[in-house]
Amino acid sequence: MSTTIPAGMREMTYREAAREGLHEALTRDERVFLMGEDVGRYGGSYAVSLGFLEEFGPERIRDTPLSESAFVGAGIGAAIGGMRPIVEVMTVNFSLLAADQIINTAATYLHMSGGQINVPLVIRMATGGGLQLAAQHSHSLENLYAHVPGLKVLTPATVEDVRGMLATALADPDPVLIFEHILLYNRKGLLAADAGAVDIHRARIRRAGTQVSLITYGGSLWKCLEAAELLEQQGIDAEVLDLRTLRPLDDEAIMATVTRTRRVVIVDEGWRSGGISAEITARIHEQAFYELDVPVQRVCAAEVPIPYAKQLEDAALPQVADIVAAAGRLVKGND
């Protein structure tokens, strides 16, 4: 399949876009440095920083020991000390070993110090399943962090966002966590030649529709867009809202789509119990209950640790067919 690339646009993978964002950040600001496990010689566990060690040197591309708590905490201290660190944690699963630093320190210092000590730290990590990596490498725990005041939680799904959100995060005076879904790295997208920093406070409609809203983020965005195509073949006009940021949530955009379509399916690779889908459901209930024609539906990960075997993993994660079925039920059941 060869589509023509519109003028002024470039085609690149999510990995390349992430890499460009990092490269630009390192080039622009001497205070910026990257640290984490295998970001240097290995080139990054998802090959995002390949070649950076040679270009920027070991002071600014720092391979760390396997010490999530120490190097995330060191990021906090370095940020307080005047640097602009970007800390890479291989995956969100391992970030739990640094949860103390992220939740007890990074998220609290500004408030606990009465507004004196802000922590301009950016932490990037991979999230999500789909590569048969089983229960300790596949979970979507971003909503644990979205629970915590003091943090900002970004979930770029597009090449534009993964490139541009980093710049915005670095300009932010407070700790920002960026979650990159592992299935997105090889995905191609179009990027404007002059792409730059992007807003991080607004959700975005990726496909306009009138009959049902698919509310999602990150890796699930593409499943939702695919589902919307299939729904169209069934005569159902679905809207797809990409949350982009899980904290703070863009309530306005959520309520606007609810008001437009009156039917909602929330799609999240996290578990439904206590997850971001539960939070969004509650907010719709609080703010737009009477706009709904039917109860909110959710397509989330099954309530199991994500298993290894392909058929089990597929069954555990939200799939396009599940989204189509859920949206179809909402629309047809109501007709």
Q: Which residues are known to be catalytic? A: 68, 137
What is the C-alpha separation between 227 and 214, in angstroms, rounded? Answer: 9
Point out which span in 59-67, 154-162, 225-233, 297-305 binds another protein (CB under 8 A).
Answer: 59-67
What is the C-alpha separation between 297 and 300, in angstroms, rounded? Answer: 10
Q: How far is the CB of 159 from another protein (least distance, A)?
A: 23
Determine which residue in the list 1, 115, 194, 311 makes contact with another protein, applying CB under 8 A.
115
Q: How far is the CB of 246 from another protein (least distance, A)?
A: 15
Cβ closest to another protein, residue 81 vs residue 235 = 81
What is the C-alpha separation between 206 and 213, in angstroms, rounded? Answer: 11
CA-based Rg of the chain, rounded to a whole angstrom? 20
For residue 99, state whether it binds another protein (rule: CB under 8 A): no
Determine which residue in the list 29, 38, 100, 322 makes contact with another protein, applying CB under 8 A.
100
- Three-class DSSP category at 271: strand
DSSP calls for 63-102: E--S-HHHHHHHHHHHHHTT-EEEEEEEEHHHHGGGHIII
Determine which residue in the list 61, 76, 154, 157 makes contact with another protein, applying CB under 8 A.
76
Determine which residue in the list 9, 38, 50, 80 makes contact with another protein, applying CB under 8 A.
80
For residue 73, state whether it binds another protein (rule: CB under 8 A): yes
Determine which residue in the list 13, 45, 118, 132 makes contact with another protein, applying CB under 8 A.
118
For residue 29, state whether it binds another protein (rule: CB under 8 A): no
What is the C-alpha separation between 259 and 213, in angstroms, rounded? Answer: 10
- CB of 245 within 8 A of CB of 154? yes
Instruction: State which amino acid sits at residue 264.
Output: V
Cβ closest to another protein, residue 8 vs residue 82 = 82
> What are phi and psi for residue 58, nearest 5 degrees?
-70, -15
CB atoms within 10 A of CB 125: 22
Residues 158-187 vs another protein: string with x where CB under 8 A?
Answer: ----------x--xxxx-------------
Q: Return the H-helix or E-strand segment holding 331.
A: helix 320-332
For residue 78, state whether it binds another protein (rule: CB under 8 A): yes
Residue in the block written with tokens 């210092």 = 109
For residue 109, state whether it binds another protein (rule: CB under 8 A): yes
Q: How far is the CB of 62 from another protein (least distance, A)?
A: 8
What is the C-alpha separation between 39 and 217, in angstroms, rounded? Answer: 26
For residue 205, state whether it binds another protein (rule: CB under 8 A): no
Point out which span in 13-21, 61-69, 182-190, 274-282 binds another protein (CB under 8 A).
Answer: 61-69
Instruction: State which amino acid sits at residue 246.
Output: L
Determine which residue in the list 59, 194, 303, 335 makes contact with another protein, applying CB under 8 A.
59
Point out which span in 39-47, 112-120, 153-161, 291-299 binds another protein (CB under 8 A).
Answer: 112-120
Determine which residue in the list 69, 132, 205, 230 makes contact with another protein, applying CB under 8 A.
69
> What are phi and psi for residue 305, nearest 5 degrees?
-65, 135
What is the C-alpha separation between 17 and 190, in angstroms, rounded? Answer: 10
Residues forming the site for another protein (CB under 8 A): 33, 59, 64-65, 67, 69-83, 85, 100-101, 104-105, 109-118, 149-150, 152, 168, 171-174
